[in-house]
């Protein structure tokens, strides 16, 4: 990544273009995806009809979207928080998996305790494991000069391998024949649902984490320090800030969010750790963070929209006979368009000029 | 619900109302009668030339019924993902019937969703129903393909020059062992000296290991290869590449071996799905007991069939196999007829005893026939 991209990301420009360009990029991706589906024989508009129906068309669809949105919010924060300290990480999936694994281990170890104690242990273990995972990538970059984009990406595969090793080995439930999985968390020790709906408490965790992150970054001295480090870590060192610890802490918080999402997946959805928890929420979380321009509050909205997209994957297959991997194609298209759109910042005069009076970053 | 007379139409009416309410905008398409929505879940891809494609073709057979709207989802893993797919089909698409085709879907996923949605009928392929424990709206179905394997084995026995057949199998479970043994019995019915080597790969979808096993069998002199895995596609491919023959399983694999494909044992789930859907359309249900709890069938019931013969099968070979098929259908020929010994020298079926393919005793099969090189205990 170029330094100008890093800087632009770090500063989280608060202008019209930081909303307009992602919206435009998302719209372009939708049109491209519609065209892609048309190539597969689906009518262009029917694609969007299906997505709307399965994402927002009914209360059932809304619940589906929100269930998918919960882990996306937390995984989005995993990229958005460290970026404020100048660290670009894509280790969301690894932190998610390790968090889920840690939570499952903690949950299985505390089956004898009361549900509340057990769930708190699971959440703490998930946050600690996920946080440590991303902090590891941060430490490698800060202390050893290893690029965190690359190390965190590779850590995703290591996390998956560690999880599979344990789930197919010491943690394996001998009854899980065709699909190796850990022993299951007792029903009473699983995470509850909101008001008789299918939406689990993970959604509340996601919204709370996003709001807390916003307060922390935008409204506290600590957040100010993190942003200074993100702007220029050498300058931050010169004014007496301990940039190493600030970067590690921001990375830990981000990773903790993804780890918590992993805990929710184990404690509310799967009920056990297995290959199934690596469903790609972490990778989509990166997309969420970029579409939201790293703003914790916008992450909530973007996560709901992308949650609806994920929820509609099956509907595209059922309604229009599209391949089951279509939604993965959509994610890929959006990734490319979002990255391409980064070059537009400051280049669209009428968007740029409208806010001439406002600080426009470092152009 | 127990009253079978007037209750049927009332139930049909109620289901139609429910479908109208659930299907929503679909009714704007101008259809007066809301379609019967049927949902299918497959554990793998629809184009695997194997187990999943056989079910997918079965689903496509429903296209001929105008009152059915069949929907499906492929690559649904045996986790809560299966539950979510079924719920989506029920709540978003208004599915009234669910066919869960992968073995691992049943417990706990199908059981859980079936309890949640008692008005929807669930049918699971290959599972067993526990009376008094499992929900009433659940049925199971499967077929006995032994006779078709026997005919495919017979074709292999007629084709082989070396007299050695190669079989690549996933796991030494009864259903697989039945296929291996009936294949061998078919081959031996025309070539008593025929031998067979079996390699177990350990799992249903391991294309690399299957290819290695197939190659190794060819190296050892086998000149007809077959298999029982999720899809024996690679096994048939290896045979073609090695210039030897192959017979298929699950689905017609002739497309990957235009020269060496002899025939194969394949499922015709379309027959089964049509039968179910016609019954349901007529207002019958498994909950009410008007659809059998367990639906199973043999070659005679057209649950399974022989793949079209390939070019290597001469008219004389074809006639012999088809004559044997007629005898099987007429009950003049039996597959499991004693005396049969297993490959460890023990008596498997005593002299004078004949076991029908539907006999549940065969579901406990744990032996390989005399003359087969392979170990049931070793995977």
DSSP A40-95: TT--HHHHHHHHHHHHHSSHHHHHHHHHHHHHHHHHHHHHHHHHHTT-----HHHH
What confidence tier does B28 reach under pLDDT thresholds 50, 70, 90?
very low
Residues sharing a CB contact under 8 Å with residue A267, sequence separation 6 or more, in sequence order: A103, A107, A119, A122, A185, A189, A190, A191
Q: How far is CA B323 from the centre of its chain?
A: 24
What confidence tier does B166 reach under pLDDT thresholds 50, 70, 90?
very high
Report the residue of B88, B95, B100, B127 to disrupt the A interface, i.e. the one with the largest count of A CBs within 10 Å.
Answer: B88
Is A308:A60 a contact under the CB 8 Å cutoff?
no
| Residue A169 φ/ψ, nearest 5 degrees | -115, -110
Residue A45 touches partner B, C-beta closer than 8 Å: no
What is the predicted pLDDT for the residue at A132? Answer: 98
Q: What number is the average pLDDT over the span B81-105?
A: 95
Q: What number is the average pLDDT over the span B332-352?
A: 94
Assess whether pLDDT exceeds 50 at residue B2.
no
Residues sharing a CB contact under 8 Å with residue B102, sequence separation 6 or more, in sequence order: B41, B42, B43, B44, B76, B78, B82, B125
Q: Distance between CA B317 and CA B298 in Å, rounded? A: 23
Query: In b/e form, how buried is each residue of B218-231, taking b as 16+ CB within 10 angstroms?
Result: beeebbbbbbbbbb
What is the predicted pLDDT for the residue at B285? Answer: 95
What is the predicted pLDDT for the residue at B18? Answer: 46
Percent of chain A with pLDDT over 70: 91
Tell me which of A84-93, A185-194, A318-327, A347-356 is least confident: A347-356
What confidence tier does A180 reach under pLDDT thresholds 50, 70, 90?
confident
What confidence tier does B32 reach under pLDDT thresholds 50, 70, 90?
low
Q: What number is the average pLDDT over the span A133-145?
A: 95
Q: What number is the average pLDDT over the span A98-123?
A: 95
Q: Between chains, do B79 and A276 touch, taking CB under 8 Å as contact?
A: yes
Q: A261-304, pLDDT tens digit by residue? A: 999 999 999 999 998 899 899 999 999 999 998 899 999 999 99
What is the predicted pLDDT for the residue at B199? Answer: 97
Assess whether pLDDT exceeds 80 at residue A6.
no
What confidence tier does B24 reach under pLDDT thresholds 50, 70, 90?
very low
| Residue A181 φ/ψ, nearest 5 degrees | -150, 160
* Residue A265 token pair: 């997946």
Pairwise pLDDT comparison (B354 vs A180), residue with the higher score: B354
Q: A301-330, pLDDT tens digit by residue? A: 999 999 999 999 999 999 998 988 899 999
Q: Closest by alpha carbon to A248, among A165, A336, A347, A134?
A: A134
Nearest to B88 among A178, A315, A323 (CB): A315
Assess whether pLDDT exceeds 50 at residue B318.
yes
Q: What number is the average pLDDT over the span A75-96?
A: 95
Is A248:A142 a contact under the CB 8 Å cutoff?
yes
What is the predicted pLDDT for the residue at A160? Answer: 95
What's the full length of chain B, in residues? 379
Q: Closest by alpha carbon to A205, among A295, A70, A299, A64?
A: A70
What confidence tier does B25 reach under pLDDT thresholds 50, 70, 90?
very low
Q: Distance between CA B306 and CA B248 in Å, rounded? A: 9
Angle at A68 between CA A88 and CA B55, to 5 degrees: 120
Can you tell me whether residue B68 is helix, strand or coil? strand
Report the 10 Å Cβ neighbour count for B51: 24
Is A203:A70 a contact under the CB 8 Å cutoff?
yes
Mean pLDDT of chain A: 89
Is A158:A101 a contact under the CB 8 Å cutoff?
no
Assess whether pLDDT exceeds 50 at residue A2.
no
In this structure, the strands spanning B195-200 and B164-169 are: parallel
Q: Distance between CA B98 and CA B138 in Å, rounded? A: 10
B53: enclosing H helix or E strand: helix B51-60
Q: Between chains, do A315 and B89 touch, taking CB under 8 Å as contact?
A: no
Complex ipTM: 0.82
What is the predicted pLDDT for the residue at B316? Answer: 96
Pairwise pLDDT comparison (B141 vs A187), residue with the higher score: B141
Is A255:A134 a contact under the CB 8 Å cutoff?
yes
Is A274:A175 a contact under the CB 8 Å cutoff?
no
- The DSSP call for residue B201 is -
Instruction: Give the residue from chain B lying closest to A52, CA to CA.
Output: B92
Q: Between chains, do A314 and B39 touch, taking CB under 8 Å as contact?
A: no
CB pairs under 8 A between A and B: 57
Q: Between chains, do B75 and A324 touch, taking CB under 8 Å as contact?
A: yes
Pairwise pLDDT comparison (B11 vs B160), residue with the higher score: B160
What is the predicted pLDDT for the residue at A9? Answer: 52
Assess whether pLDDT exceeds 60 at residue B74.
yes
Percent of chain B with pLDDT over 90: 85
Residues of B in contact with A60 (CB under 8 A): 91-92
Query: Min CA distance, B71 vs chain A (Å)?
Result: 5
- The DSSP call for residue B15 is H
Q: B121-159, pLDDT tens digit by residue? A: 999 999 989 999 999 999 999 999 999 999 999 999 999
Q: B223-251, pLDDT tens digit by residue? A: 999 999 999 999 999 999 999 999 999 99
What is the predicted pLDDT for the residue at A353? Answer: 52
Q: Distance between CA A64 and CA A54 in Å, rounded? A: 8
Report the 10 Å Cβ neighbour count for B370: 15
For helices A59-84 and A3-11, angle between their N-to-C axes, nearest 10 degrees: 120
Assess whether pLDDT exceeds 80 at residue A354.
no
Q: Closest by alpha carbon to A346, among A22, A28, A17?
A: A17
What is the predicted pLDDT for the residue at B129? Answer: 93
Assess whether pLDDT exceeds 60 at residue A96.
yes
Q: B373: which strand partners?
A: B197
What is the predicted pLDDT for the residue at B377? Answer: 75
Instruction: Give the residue from chain A lying closest to B71, CA to CA.
Output: A318
What is the predicted pLDDT for the residue at B7? Answer: 38
Report the 10 Å Cβ neighbour count for B378: 7
What is the predicted pLDDT for the residue at A342? Answer: 84
Query: Min CA distance, A16 vs chain B (Å)?
Result: 37
Query: Min CA distance, B74 vs chain A (Å)?
Result: 6
* Residue B213 token pair: 């096993």
Maximum distance among all Cα pairs of chain B, rounded to whole angstroms: 68
Q: What number is the average pLDDT over the span A137-155?
A: 95
What is the predicted pLDDT for the residue at B101? Answer: 97
What is the predicted pLDDT for the residue at B21? Answer: 46
Assess whether pLDDT exceeds 50 at residue A221.
yes
* Residue B330 token pair: 């007429």
Instruction: Give the residue from chain A lying closest to B81, CA to CA.
Output: A276
Q: Distance between CA A298 and CA A14 in Å, rounded? A: 12
Q: What is the DSSP string of B113-130?
A: HHHH-TTSEEEEES----
What is the predicted pLDDT for the residue at A179? Answer: 75
Q: Is A16 exposed, middle or buried (0-12, 13-18, 19+ CB in 10 A)?
A: middle
Angle at B21 between CA B20 and CA B22, to 5 degrees: 95
Residues sharing a CB contact under 8 Å with residue B211, sequence separation 6 or more, in sequence order: B234, B235, B237, B238
* Residue A1 token pair: 């990544």
């Amino acid at each position: 990544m170029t330094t100008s991209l890093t800087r632009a990301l770090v500063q989280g420009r608060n202008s019209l273009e930081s909303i307009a360009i992602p919206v435009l990029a998302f719209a372009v991706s939708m049109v491209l995806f519609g065209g892609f589906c048309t190539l597969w024989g689906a009518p262009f508009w029917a694609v969007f009809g299906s997505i709307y129906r399965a994402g927002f068309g009914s209360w059932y669809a809304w619940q589906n979207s929100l269930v998918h949105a919960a882990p996306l919010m937390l995984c989005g924060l995993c990229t958005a928080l460290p970026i404020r300290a100048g660290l670009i990480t894509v280790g969301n999936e690894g932190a998610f998996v390790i968090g889920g694994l840690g939570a499952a281990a903690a949950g299985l170890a505390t089956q004898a305790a009361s549900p509340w104690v057990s769930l708190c242990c699971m959440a703490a273990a998930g946050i600690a494991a996920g946080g440590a995972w991303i902090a590891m990538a941060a430490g490698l970059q800060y202390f050893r000069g290893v690029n965190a984009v690359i190390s965190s990406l590779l850590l995703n595969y290591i996390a998956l391998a560690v999880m599979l090793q344990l789930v197919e080995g010491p943690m394996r439930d001998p009854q899980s024949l065709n699909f190796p999985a850990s022993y299951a968390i007792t029903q009473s020790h699983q995470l509850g649902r909101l008001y008789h709906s299918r939406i689990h408490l993970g959604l509340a965790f996601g919204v709370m984490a996003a709001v807390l992150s916003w307060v922390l970054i935008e409204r506290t001295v600590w957040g100010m320090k993190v942003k200074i480090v993100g702007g220029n870590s050498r300058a931050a060192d010169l004014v007496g800030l301990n940039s190493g610890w600030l970067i590690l802490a921001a990375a830990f918080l981000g990773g903790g969010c993804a780890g918590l999402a992993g805990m929710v997946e184990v404690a509310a959805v799967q009920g056990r750790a297995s290959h199934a928890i690596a469903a790609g929420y972490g990778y989509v979380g990166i997309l969420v963070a970029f579409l939201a321009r790293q703003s914790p509050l916008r992450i909530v909205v973007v996560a709901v929209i992308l949650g609806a997209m994920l929820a509609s994957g099956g509907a595209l297959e059922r309604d229009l006979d599209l391949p089951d991997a279509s939604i993965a194609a959509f994610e890929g298209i959006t990734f490319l368009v979002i990255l391409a759109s980064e070059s537009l910042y400051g280049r669209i005069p009428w968007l740029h000029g409208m806010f001439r009076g406002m600080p426009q970053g470092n152009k | 619900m127990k009253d079978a007379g007037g209750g049927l139409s009332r139930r049909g009416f109620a289901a139609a109302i429910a479908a109208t309410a659930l299907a929503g905008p679909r009714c704007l398409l101008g259809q007066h009668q809301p379609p019967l929505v049927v949902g299918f879940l497959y554990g793998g891809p629809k184009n695997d030339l194997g187990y999943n494609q056989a079910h997918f073709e079965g689903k496509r057979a429903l296209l001929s019924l105008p009152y059915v709207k069949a929907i499906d989802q492929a690559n649904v893993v045996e986790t809560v993902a299966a539950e979510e797919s079924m719920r989506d089909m029920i709540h978003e698409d208004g599915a009234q019937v669910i066919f869960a085709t992968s073995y691992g879907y049943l417990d706990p996923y199908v059981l859980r969703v079936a309890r949640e949605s008692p008005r929807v009928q669930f049918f699971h392929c290959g599972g067993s129903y526990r009376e008094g424990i499992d929900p009433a709206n659940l049925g199971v179905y499967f077929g006995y393909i032994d006779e078709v394997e026997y005919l495919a084995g017979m074709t292999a026995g007629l084709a082989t020059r070396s007299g050695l057949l190669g079989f690549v199998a996933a796991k030494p479970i009864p259903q697989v062992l039945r296929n291996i043994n009936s294949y061998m019995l078919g081959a031996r019915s025309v070539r008593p000296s025929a031998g067979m080597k079996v390699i177990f790969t350990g799992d249903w979808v391991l294309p690399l290991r299957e290819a290695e096993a197939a190659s190794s069998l060819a190296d050892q002199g086998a000149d007809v290869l077959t298999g029982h895995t999720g899809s024996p596609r690679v096994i048939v491919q290896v045979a073609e590449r090695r210039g030897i023959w192959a017979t298929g399983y699950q689905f017609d694999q002739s497309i990957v071996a235009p020269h060496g494909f002899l025939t194969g044992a394949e499922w015709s789930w379309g027959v089964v799905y049509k039968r179910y859907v016609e019954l349901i359309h007529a207002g019958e249900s498994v909950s009410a007991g008007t659809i059998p709890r367990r639906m199973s069938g043999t070659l005679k019931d057209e649950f399974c069939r022989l793949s079209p013969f390939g070019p290597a099968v001469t008219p004389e070979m074809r006639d012999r196999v088809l004559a044997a098929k007629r005898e099987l259908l007429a009950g003049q020929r039996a597959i499991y007829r004693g005396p049969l010994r297993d490959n460890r020298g023990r008596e498997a079926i005593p002299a004078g005893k004949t076991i029908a393919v539907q006999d549940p005793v065969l579901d406990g099969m744990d032996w390989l026939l005399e003359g087969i090189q392979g170990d049931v205990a070793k995977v």
